[in-house]
Amino acid sequence: MSVRLPEPLQRLTTDPDAPLRQGAYRSALRDERVAAILGAALGILFSICFVTGLYSHIQQNPVSWLPIRPRPAGLYRFTQGLHVAAGIASVPVLIAKLWVVWPRFVSFPVARRLSGLVERLGLFPLVAGGIFMTFSGVANIAQWYPWRFSFTASHYWMAWVTMGSIVAHGGAKWAIARRTLARPSRRPALADADPELGTSAEDEAGAGLTRRGLLTTVAAASGVLTLTTIGQTVRPLRRLGLLAPRDPATGPQGRPVNRGAVNAGVVDLAQSPFYRLEVSGRVARPLSLDLKDLRAMPAHDTVLPIACVEGWSFSAPWSGVRIRDLLEMAGAERDRTILIESLEPRGAYRTSTLNPDQAADRDTLLALDLDGETLALDHGYPCRLIAPNRPGVLQTKWVNRVVVL
Ligand SMILES: Nc1nc2c(c(=O)[nH]1)N[C@H]1C(S)=C(S)[C@@H](COP(=O)(O)O)O[C@H]1N2
Ligand SMILES: [Mo]
């Protein structure tokens, strides 16, 4: 499309001082090649975040046409670790990319052609979306909520806006980026950048940061940020976890906790001698079991991860009663969704559901023990759900009811 803007609008958007202003932002590093490389890196990192983020979304908001399978058991731990690592790695890349292309946002004229104006307006959701996604994600893993709106809803919907803009922008820039990257790299010509300085060839050779230097710095910053954060999941990197909000070895029973029994308001109920686990709903024989009954049932051992959406995780040995044994004992109808309820009086985490495949899995347990000891109160005593390939937020603690829907 090549529609000229009407004359008055052109004049309005044309700044007589344009060359001067642009000169103020001149740097030999602000070139198309650097912009293309950083753009490609951001495109890849954001795509990884988008795909793994969608997976996390359907884990937490199940859809009937794409049921979550219980295997591989460690899949969610991997995808969510990758989500957070790629998001963190993208922070320095995004900052560098914005720095490189900044003069274009403030340049005049805003646009001579309608297509240019459309492209320029399209930068708004791209830039705002990129900044919002990384900022809200990083704030969330640091458990800092400087806003009133729901993190999950806004992070999810803005992901579509951002990804849509990335696809549109990538499409618009594809040809030019390919051409730029296909050309052999040459030293950025500082003399071109600011002719008034009359830079000589000698100055050029020793002039500040090179293009490679800039890209290496950005890559190193990404690497360091990522390494110092994934210590919250990758145990050998634990001691590097300077920026990790969670240490995988600190907490009751040497395991981290997000929300403990006090904050959840379950201290008394969980320790009450009147505690019962009820199995109800579409069952032939509703059950009401106390702790002794649960201990008398066949115990099953497994090693499974708790993988928080925030990216931290730990794998541990659990022992307890299989959900499928409980369902069989109660004479539950087959192929039903199972609701798991907590003693917790309120809050988003007090229930979760299991689809029929998940409920039937041999490793889907109401765990009574962690690391061979009775579950600590903060880890969900008297019993908690633990199931393969599942976000931590759905591993419901302090369970007192299993309902066959
Ligand atoms: N009832 C209840 N279950 C819950 C939670 C909660 O707040 N209430 N937190 C969930 C979250 S977000 C995570 S990551 C895991 C953490 O398990 P842990 O505290 O044993 O490490 O428990 C999950 N189960
Ligand atoms: Mo979590």
CATH class of 254-404: alpha beta
Closest CA to 227 of 214, 216, 212, 243: 243
Asked whether the beta carbons of 384 and 397 are under 8 A apart, the reply is yes
Q: Hey, which of 267, 395, 400 would you mutate to test ligand 1's pocket, going by the most ligand atoms within 8 Å of its Cβ? A: 395
Q: Give the Cα separation of 306 and 340 in Å (integer).
A: 17
What atom of ligand 1 comes closest to residue 370's alpha carbon? 20
Q: Is 46 helix (H, G, I), strand (E, B) or coil?
A: helix
Burial 362-380 (b: 16+ CB within 10 A, else e): ebbbbbbbbeeeebbbbbb
What DSSP line would sit under 164-180, residue for residue?
HHHHHHHHHHHHHHHHH
Residue 276: DSSP 8-state = -
Q: What is the pTM of this model?
A: 0.89
State residue 20's pLDDT score.
43
- Ligand 1 atom nearest the C-alpha of 391 is 14
Per-residue pLDDT of the chain (405 residues; tens, 9 = 90+): 456 767 656 654 555 444 444 555 677 788 889 999 999 999 999 999 999 999 999 999 999 999 999 999 999 999 999 999 999 999 999 999 999 988 888 777 777 788 888 888 888 999 999 999 999 999 998 888 888 889 999 999 999 999 999 999 999 899 999 999 998 887 655 544 444 433 444 344 445 788 999 999 999 999 999 988 887 777 777 777 766 767 777 889 999 998 999 999 999 999 999 999 999 999 999 999 999 999 999 999 999 999 999 989 999 999 999 999 999 999 999 999 999 999 999 999 999 999 999 999 999 999 999 999 999 999 999 999 999 999 999 999 999 999 999
Q: Does ligand 1 have an atom closer than 6 angstroms to the CB of 257?
A: yes
**Residue among 330, 332, 328, 354 at smallest CA distance from 341:** 354
User: Number of helices and strands (H, E) in the chain?
Assistant: 14, 10
DSSP per residue, 306-317: EE-TTS-EEEEE
- Residue 272 DSSP one-character state: -
Q: Whose CA is nearest to atom 20 of ligand 1?
A: 379
Nearest-CA neighbor of 326 among 357, 355, 365, 380? 365
**One-letter amino acid identity for 205?**
A
**Is there an atom of ligand 1 within 6 Å of 308 CB?**
yes
For 25, 27, 71, 107, 184, the CA distances from 18, given in Å and listed in that order, are 11, 16, 59, 7, 31
Cα of 248 to ligand 2 centre, how many Å? 13
- Asked if residue 394 lies in contact with residue 338, where contact means CB atoms within 8 angstroms, the answer is no
Is residue 89 a contact partner of residue 45, using CB atoms and an 8 Å limit?
A: yes
Ligand nearest to the CA of 344: 1
- Look over the chain and give the mean of its residue pLDDT values, rounded to a whole number: 88
Q: Where does CATH 3.90.420.10 sit in the chain?
A: 254-404
Q: Is 393 in the pocket of ligand 1 (CB under 6 A)?
A: yes
Q: Is residue 112 within 8 Å of 5, Cβ to Cβ?
A: yes
Could you tell me what percentage of the chain is helix, strand and coil, using 3-state DSSP and rounding each to the nearest 5? 50, 15, 35
Which of 53, 138, 62, 58 has its CA nearest to residue 94? 138
